[in-house]
Structure 1
Amino acid sequence: MSVSDDSPADPGWPRLAVGARRWPVAPGTLLLDALNRAGLGIPYSCRAGACQACLVQCLEGMPEDVLPGLPDPARRAAGWRLACQCRVVGDLRVADHDPARDGLPAQVLAVDWLAPSVLRLRLRPQRPLRYAAGQHLLVWNDEGQARPYSLASLPGEDDRLEFHLDCRHDGGFTRRARLLRPGDTLRVGPPLGGGLRYEADWQDAPLWLLAAGAGLAPLWSVLREALRQGHRGPIRLLHLARPGEHYLGEPLRQLAASHPHVQVELPETDALQTVLAGLRIVPRPTRALLCGSLAFVDDLSRRLYMAGLPRTQLLTEAFLPRVE
């Protein structure tokens, strides 16, 4: 039986160490929670292993890992683990991402508001980064805070990186982001994720891209990647947003006007149940990509499955709001 995290520390509990700090942790505690309760500020987004933002390197000892297939074999061999998917079961020494060591300097090119709650951030890294549509990066600010943000830019288009920051929640990172000016320097980590993507053998299949809020960012990149690769099947893009928050409405309409097989829908948030009711029968070859809040992704995933979409043809990325 595992010991409650709220119980008094037991002399037999495993010890967790980071740098010069070492403290007891209740057996079975999630590694991410143990680190953040101690004030380490490990970044996370989905807490499901998909975003891979919470990577930490195990230097001594190993946690119990419920996702042994992630991260990739090379990183696993070097001791990297996803803190949100590991439990502390024995003494453990870890090192988290260090922006001075792991982050690539990136200059701020532009900061502007696409909508009242969506801030667009454009960066130019010190050297070009190779990434795929649908991936994301860790971004560190000048105070060492890190957050994972999906890339809205198109790989290989140029060396600029574009992110759409959801500023509805007034966290420390977004407060600092509002103050950024061209010429400022941030740091970015290596590309992560890959749950959202476009594959070349999908070219004749119906492609559904369903987003809520700033979850549109990676699907905007995937959409343009699909068109660049000559996707021939019908494409349906749906962006659910609050009134006045369809921040790419005009570019999406222009793109649909020049590509007859692209259908764009821009419902408002209170129309979600109507959207769900409209998902009655899904053509079996369809590939569907979902990105947005956990509730949005869960609701649409369930409805798509009930409408006949195989789970293997559904790719999702759900994000949890940070409480700061």
Structure 2
Amino acid sequence: MTDLKVMSWGEYQLFSLVNQQGTQVDISDLGGLIVNFYVQDQHEQTRNIVLGYDTPDEYLDGACYLGCVVGPWANRIANGHYSIDDIDFTLDQNEKSNHLHGGLANLGAKRWAVEIVNNTTLKLAITLDADEASYPHTIDFVVTYHLSETNELRICFEAMPHGKTPINMTQHTYFNLNESEDVLNHKIQINSDRYLTVDSCAIPLTKVSVKDTPFDFRQPVLIKQAMDLNNKQLKAAGGYDHCWCFEAIELQANATLSEETSGLHLHVASDQIGMQFYTGNFLNKEPGRHSQIYNKHAGVCLETQCYPNQINMDNKQDCIYGPNKSYRHNVVYQVLTTQ
């Protein structure tokens, strides 16, 4: 068993998962960040397929959640409000009236304890104290990353709340498969025939068919060709920031992101009922690594999760966890090249 490569990174550390295919994923104890994701493209050139910053301080100061583990609640809760067993709770509101990505409890800005397993597996753990961002109970979190020889980055999210609490975790990496200024020439395929429409605050309204809409990605489509900003849903968000719906099973293929120049294909599979497809609509002159500037659509997020605001929906019980019901979420990001 080989020890994991560890590098100092300011006050934090970077841990490198590597395989025999030339793939390297650098993960930090700051926020469980995926800082770098190096792969070989079809021309055997090394590409870093994720957006990122150079220093920990830039991640701490950034407002775009680049590369971090998100929780206790990924995505939005309307008015920061929910109820469990007829008791009302109000979380902090950090996106106008919404509670977004855990608010002040932001797991992406915390130092995680690291258990090194080997050069392909890394386990991180952290405890969130009760009342952070008004979450009522202490929550123990564990995230495990594993890089396989078939270029699968497997992530397992686990949470053990000490009392009944809504939990919804995800990874908020922005992908760009050819290190280009934007991802509009990428193709996206999403294996779902339904998505959630949203209101002006990006809170889900109804589950509808993708048929005859710009949300139909059942076959691969260039993002720039699909993004019809005359569509009210897309115009309001400045692009895609919506959740597609799946049946919750053990593991299923959710989506594929492809880019012709690099010949890279990113396959996403999970055991979750939702996947948020976000086209980086709010990136605006964001200073990135190596003096890059990230503007609108510089990357895409493929965030597997339950539904946004599900804690206020009819199926709310499915996202409530506690001492007798722990949270577990598996997702696989696999990078392949055109043969």
If the TM-score is normalised by the length of the shorter chain, which range does it land in?
A: under 0.3
Normalized per residue, the structure richer in strand is 2
Query: What TM-score, normalized to structure 1?
Result: 0.26
Larger fraction in helix? 1
Q: Using structure 2 for the length normalisation, give the TM-score.
A: 0.25
Specify the structure having the higher radius of gyration (Cα).
Answer: 1
